[in-house]
Amino acid sequence: MSSLNLDDFTDLIERPDGGVRRDAEARRERQIVPPGALGRLDDLGEWLAAAQSSVPVRPITQPRVVLFAGDHGVAELGVSAREAGSAHQLVRAVLDGSSPVSVLARQLDVPVRVVDLALDCDPESLPDAVVRHRVRRGSGRIDVEDALTAEEAEAAFRTGVALADEEADSGTDLVVLGDVSVGGTTAAAVLVAALCGTDASVVTGRGGRAIDDLAWMRKCAAVRDALRRARPVLGDQLQLLATVGGADLAAMTGFLLQSAVRKMPVILDGVVSAACALVAQRVAFRAPDWWLAGQNSGEPAQAKALDRMAIEPLLDHGVKVGEGAGALLALPLVRVAAALSAELPERASEDVVEKEAAAVRSGIEDMDAT
């Protein structure tokens, strides 16, 4: 029998420190730039203060991009512009430094970690550091079969928890979270539709490499069929991930929950990370307080999930490439918010101003007397 009890996360996860946030707000009101003049940067700085339990905010010095990789059997239906089972090519591009996220990470001096949970390739073709956490080779075709067995779902979830602990223990102070998958947006759409009670057409987008109308209709049909299989298991989030998720999505959900336990902030990327966040919210309602949404990817399921969690994306540049690239673009904004919050000087208090004025007046009187 499994010893994993997801209900434990409800007790383990606390909200960011509300008292510290109020202190940060009070400090912001004393700074020389009027409150509100910096727009959402004010909110970001105060959120970081609460997350760090620190006023002034500490700079973000050890961020990391963490990417969960996997292939999804549903891609065999032609729901993606990429060939089924080809996610390993995307992983290789990340490792070789030729993918968008790799270029951005070099510019921002942020390390990238890729974790294979269910790539459909020979494990010897990739470094051991990437493949050592693999749960299975490809996830099942969710329109007609479960993505994972119950044991595989638990193993993937526990892997995500362990990876969050590794990052927190190594000093990572913020994670940019993304996926490297083929067929992952279809699984994500099913999860969002199931948890939000919507139809397939409402959540089905066209993916990172926009598919044509025919492929979109195939994708809608796959989401619809998988949704029928998802609804009976909505009360059990781990079973939901096993039924219509995948090993990479189960691991990402575990990672998000344990990151919240460890008070490690996370920037979500696109629809896959948003779907996992929505599952995690069902497990522990306070968990979303530890997450930011880096960008609006344009996927309807992402918008639905973020709206349900009351999370507003920081950027809207239409970046659809995935792999954490859109979320990584938001990192400089978070860093700037931290710097402004910590480094803007405070106005002199009225008492100090009056004492300085009195000193000036006294000096003038002394000069007149002489």
Alpha-carbon gap, residue 186 to 272, rounded angstroms: 9
Global pTM exceeds 0.75 = yes
pLDDT band at 367 (very low <50, low <70, confident <90, very high): low
The two structure tokens encoding residue 323: 């792999």
Alpha-carbon gap, residue 352 to 74, rounded angstroms: 68
Alpha-carbon gap, residue 172 to 64, rounded angstroms: 7
pLDDT of residue 320: 83
pLDDT of residue 290: 98
The residue-averaged pLDDT of 31-35 equals 92
* Contact between residue 303 and residue 284 where contact means Cβ atoms under 8 Å apart: no
pLDDT over 70, % of the chain = 93
pLDDT digits (tens, 9 = 90+) for 197-234: 999 999 998 876 678 899 999 999 999 999 999 999 99
pLDDT above 70 for 240: yes
pLDDT of residue 352: 44
Alpha-carbon gap, residue 299 to 228, rounded angstroms: 21
Q: Which residues are registered as beta bridge partners of 176? A: 65, 267
pLDDT of residue 96: 96
Alpha-carbon gap, residue 331 to 161, rounded angstroms: 23
The residue-averaged pLDDT of 338-350 equals 86
Structural domains of the chain ordered from first start: 8-57+342-369 (1.10.1610), 63-331 (3.40.50.10210)
Distances (CA, A) of 216 to 12, 74, 78, 287: 41, 13, 9, 33
266 or 349: whose pLDDT is higher? 266
Instruction: Share the mean pLDDT of the chain.
Output: 93
pLDDT digits (tens, 9 = 90+) for 154-206: 999 999 999 999 999 999 999 999 999 999 999 999 999 999 999 999 999 88
| Cβ partners under 8 Å of residue 225, min gap 6 | 143, 144
**In 3D, which of 315, 247, 317, 299 has the Cα closest to residue 276?**
247
pLDDT above 70 for 356: no
pLDDT digits (tens, 9 = 90+) for 248-300: 999 999 999 999 999 999 999 999 999 999 999 999 999 999 999 999 999 99
Query: Which of the residues 46, 152, 167, 323 is marked catalytic?
Result: 323
Is 365 an annotated catalytic residue?
Answer: no
pLDDT digits (tens, 9 = 90+) for 297-342: 999 999 999 999 999 999 998 888 888 999 999 999 999 999 999 9
pLDDT of residue 358: 55
Helices (H), the chain: 8-12, 18-30, 40-52, 87-96, 100-108, 128-131, 150-169, 184-196, 200-203, 213-230, 237-244, 247-261, 271-283, 300-309, 325-343, 350-369
Q: What distance lies between CA 244 and its chain's CA centroid?
A: 20
pLDDT of residue 3: 75
